[in-house]
């Protein structure tokens, strides 16, 4: 794995922990960090040993406290649109559709682009110290990395409207009640808890998990028939070595041993 300026990558068995390491900027996302995240996700997704990726922020204050505003404060409308389009394609949509599961371990503030990145992950676990929100309208702009789409998908239209229009933050207790996060745990348990989830995921078929991600995401896309995508993916699984191993193991009353497990 290559070295990154703004990221730390650790591998332990079938798990990889990807840490955004800009503590002096509260791990804010700039264009360089977005590109490095893309490259790191590509490399980890291509690594056959890695079955789950945990994404977190360095320090105990922030997961990602937003985008680096100094980079785009003087942008024109066209430059702003290009910024959003490139960022969505390079990182946020890319993570959402990655075949390797990505768990967001929210260790502190997840604001603006930080919350948008957490929402692009396949699911989220937060420390009891975490605070989340989309404060962009207080800067005269709206979320541009998918926040207006993913937040209502996760918590419903009315709650999303309120959070975006008030620019308020919510704590982890409210976030779990809203369905924005899957679990809330004490700060010291955050990474161990995510590791336990990753270990459980890693015992299952990585091929089937990749197809499940594809089918689930299809149901949230315009002009895409999620049911048809599921049917196609379901059938495709029958032609895989993982299906043969999984069904044979079940019939033999033993645990399946998938490639790389």
pLDDT digits (tens, 9 = 90+) for 162-210: 999 999 999 999 999 999 999 999 999 999 999 999 999 999 999 999 9
Angle between helix 157-166 and 147-155 (nearest 10): 130
3-state secondary structure of 137: helix
Q: Evaluate if residue 72 carries a pLDDT over 90.
A: no
Vertex 82 angle, CA 131 and 135, to 5°: 20
Q: Which of 100-104, 195-199, 220-224, 248-252 has the lowest average pLDDT?
A: 220-224
Q: How far is CA 23 from the centre of its chain?
A: 20
Strands, E assignment, the chain: 7-12, 15-20, 52-57, 62-64, 102-106, 109-111, 123-127, 131-133, 169-171, 183-185
The reported pLDDT for the residue numbered 144 is 96
The reply to whether 245 belongs to the active site is no
Q: List Cα–Cα distances, 46 to 80, 141, 160, 194, in angstroms.
A: 32, 36, 35, 21
User: Which one of the listed residues 136, 162, 188, 245 is annotated catalytic?
Assistant: 136
3-state secondary structure of 128: coil
Is the Cβ–Cβ distance between 172 and 130 less than 8 Å?
A: yes
Tell me the pLDDT band of 260, cut-offs 50, 70 and 90. low
The reply to whether 136 belongs to the active site is yes
User: Which one of the listed residues 32, 36, 116, 188 is annotated catalytic?
Assistant: 116
Residue 55 tokens read as 């994404």
Tell me the chain's radius of gyration from C-alpha atoms. 19
pTM for this entry: 0.94
- 70-89 burial by CB neighbour count: b if 16+ within 10 A, else e? eebeeeeeeeeeebbeebbe
State pLDDT tens for residues 9-26: 999 999 999 999 999 999
Is the Cβ–Cβ distance between 135 and 167 less than 8 Å?
A: yes
Q: Evaluate if residue 213 carries a pLDDT over 80.
A: yes
Phi first, then psi, for residue 123 (nearest 5°) are -160, 175
Q: What letter does residue 220 receive in the DSSP assignment?
A: T
Summarize the confidence of residues 224-235 as an average pLDDT.
94
Q: What letter does residue 253 receive in the DSSP assignment?
A: T
Q: Evaluate if residue 103 carries a pLDDT over 60.
A: yes
Long-range contact pairs involving 72-78 (C-beta distance under 8 Å, separation at least 24): none
Residue 172 tokens read as 């982890």
């Amino acid at each position: 794995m290559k070295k990154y300026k703004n990221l730390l990558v650790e591998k332990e068995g079938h798990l990889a922990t990807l840490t955004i390491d800009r503590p002096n900027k509260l791990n804010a996302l700039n264009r360089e960090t977005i590109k490095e995240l893309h490259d790191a996700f590509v490399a980890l997704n291509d690594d056959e040993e890695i079955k789950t990726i945990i994404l977190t922020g360095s320090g105990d204050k922030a997961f990602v406290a937003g985008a680096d505003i100094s980079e785009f404060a003087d942008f024109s409308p066209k430059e702003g649109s290009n910024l959003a389009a490139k960022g969505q394609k390079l990182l946020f949509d890319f993570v959402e559709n990655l075949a390797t599961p990505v768990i967001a371990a929210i260790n502190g503030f997840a604001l603006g682009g930080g919350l948008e990145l957490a929402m692009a992950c396949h699911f989220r676990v937060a420390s009891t110290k975490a605070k989340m929100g989309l404060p962009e309208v207080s800067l005269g702009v709206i979320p541009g990395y998918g926040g207006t789409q993913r937040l209502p998908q996760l918590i419903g239209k009315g709650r999303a409207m309120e959070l975006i229009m008030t620019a308020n933050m919510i704590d982890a207790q409210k976030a779990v009640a809203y369905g924005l996060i899957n679990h809330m745990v004490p700060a010291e348990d955050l990474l161990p808890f995510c590791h336990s989830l990753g270990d459980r995921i890693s015992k299952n078929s990585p091929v089937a998990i990749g197809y499940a991600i594809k089918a689930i995401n299809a149901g949230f896309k315009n002009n895409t028939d999620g049911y048809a995508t599921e049917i196609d993916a379901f059938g495709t699984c029958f032609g895989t070595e993982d299906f043969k191993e999984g069904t044979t193991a079940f019939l033999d009353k033993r645990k399946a041993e998938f490639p790389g497990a």
